[in-house]
Every structure is written in C-alpha cells, then in structure tokens.
C-alpha cells in the first residue's frame, strides 16, 4: 500500500530593499501597494491600478450618472520607519490583509486574503 504525504508550503515575502528605504512600491494585476516614509511615520496605501466601473446612479427626473473611479485606502503607522515596518513581517502583512478585507471586490475571498497580501509584498521594490 502506498502512503500519501502532504507538502505544506509557507509563503515568505522579502521585498527588494536598498539600505534605509524611504519608499517602496509594488503592483499586482489589480492594485498598487505603497509604503512611504512621511516624517516620523509610515504611510501604507492600497489603490486600484485601473478605474473601476460602479453601478450607474439613475433618477427618473434627472437621468443617469455613469460612475467609475479609484478606491484608495491609506493607513498611517505612527513613529516607525519603512525598514522597521517591513521587518515586522507578520504585523505588516496583517495590515495589508485588513486593507484588502475592507474592499468590496474581495468579499467572499477570505481564504485568499493572505495570498493577495503576499503577492503585493513580493512585488515591492524599495529605494
């Protein structure tokens, strides 16, 4: 009888970093992900890469408004540097996951949030 074994893989993201990075940016097929130094804080931004088409707004008297746009989520992490923030891999990834979780297009994809966050981190290029 043959035995079946399972292989478990753990995603590890290590952004390319020069020394003392002050700005990192990554792009996935849907979003741009930016980590930037803003004085004593770090700003983390998740933004749509391309405009998103939303439902039209319709009114019988006024007609129809066609709606599209970019959703941008920006978080400030206080009193840290880009390097310190990215070294805290578990915490910084959880922040990315929470930013993804707040977006309507990921509703129902809870099992994929960490994968999406890892893809964003893997694409980061730092300066």
> pLDDT for 51-81, tens place per residue?
888 889 999 999 999 998 888 999 999 999 9
> pLDDT for 79-88, tens place per residue?
999 999 999 9
> pLDDT for 14-44, tens place per residue?
454 445 789 999 998 889 999 999 999 999 9
Q: What is the residue whose two structure tokens read 């915490």?
A: 91
The pTM of the full predicted model, rounded to 2 decimals, is 0.74
Q: How far apart are CA 124 and CA 21, in angstroms?
A: 11
pLDDT band (50, 70, 90) for residue 108 = confident
Q: How far apart are CA 113 and CA 119, in angstroms?
A: 10
Is 5's pLDDT higher than 90? no
């Amino acid at each position: 009888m043959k035995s079946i074994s399972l292989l478990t893989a753990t995603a590890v993201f290590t952004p390319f970093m020069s020394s003392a990075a002050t700005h990192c940016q990554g792009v996935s097929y849907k979003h741009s992900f930016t980590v930037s130094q803003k004085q004593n804080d770090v700003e983390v931004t998740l933004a749509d890469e391309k405009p998103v088409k939303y439902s039209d707004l319709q009114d019988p008297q006024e007609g129809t408004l066609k709606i599209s746009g970019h959703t941008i989520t920006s978080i400030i992490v206080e009193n840290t540097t880009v390097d310190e923030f990215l070294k805290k891999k578990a915490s910084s990834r959880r922040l990315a996951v929470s930013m993804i979780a707040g977006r309507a297009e990921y509703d129902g994809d809870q099992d994929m949030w960490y994968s999406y966050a890892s893809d964003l981190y893997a694409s980061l290029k730092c300066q």
